[in-house]
Amino acid sequence: MKKLTFSNGDKMPILGLGTWKSKPGEVYQAVLWALEAGYRHIDCAYIYNNENEVGKALTKAFSDGLVKREELFITSKLWNDCHRKEDVKKGLLKTLNDLQLEYLDLYLIHWPISFKKGVGFAESREQFYTYSDVPLGQTWQGMQGLKSEGLVKHIGMSNFNISKLKEIIALGGDGPEMNQVEMHPYLRQEGLVEFCESNGILMTAYSPLGSGDRSSSVKKQDEPNLFEDKVIRDLAEKYQASPAQILISFSINRGIAVIPKSVNQERIKQNLAAAEINLKNEDMDQLMKIEKEYRFIDGSFFTGPQSPYRLSDLWEM
Residue 193 forms part of a structural domain: yes
| pLDDT grade for 25, boundaries at 50, 70 and 90 | confident
39 part of the active site: no
Query: CA distances (Å), 23 to each of 34, 254, 284, 300, in order?
Result: 16, 30, 34, 23
Cβ–Cβ < 8 Å for 17, 67: no
211 has a pLDDT exceeding 80: no
SS (H, E, C) 194-249: HHHHHCCCEEEEECCCCCCCCCHHHCCCCCCCHHHCHHHHHHHHHCCCCHHHHHHH
Split at pLDDT 50, 70, 90, the class of 316 is confident
Amino acid found at 231: V
Instruction: Assess if residue 188 is contained within a domain.
Output: yes
Q: Report residue 271 CA to chain centroid gap.
A: 16
Residue 205 structural domain: 8-212+256-262+296-313
In-domain check, residue 224: no
- Catalytic one of 28, 39, 46, 48: 48
In a domain, 274, yes or no: no
237, with CB counted inside 10 A (0-12, 13-18, 19+), is exposed
Assess if residue 30 is contained within a domain: yes
State the Rg of the chain over Cα: 19
DSSP state of 175: P
C-alpha–C-alpha distance, residues 62 and 213, integer Å: 30
The count of structural domains within the chain is 1
The answer to whether residue 138 is domain-embedded is: yes
Please tell me whether 184 is known to bind a ligand: no
Task: Specify the pLDDT at position 73.
Answer: 98
In a domain, 271, yes or no: no
Q: Is residue 225 in a domain?
A: no
**pTM (predicted TM-score):** 0.96
CATH number of the domain residue 128 falls in: 3.20.20.100
The reported pLDDT for the residue numbered 220 is 76
pLDDT tens for 239-287 read 999 999 999 999 999 999 999 999 999 999 999 999 999 999 999 999 9
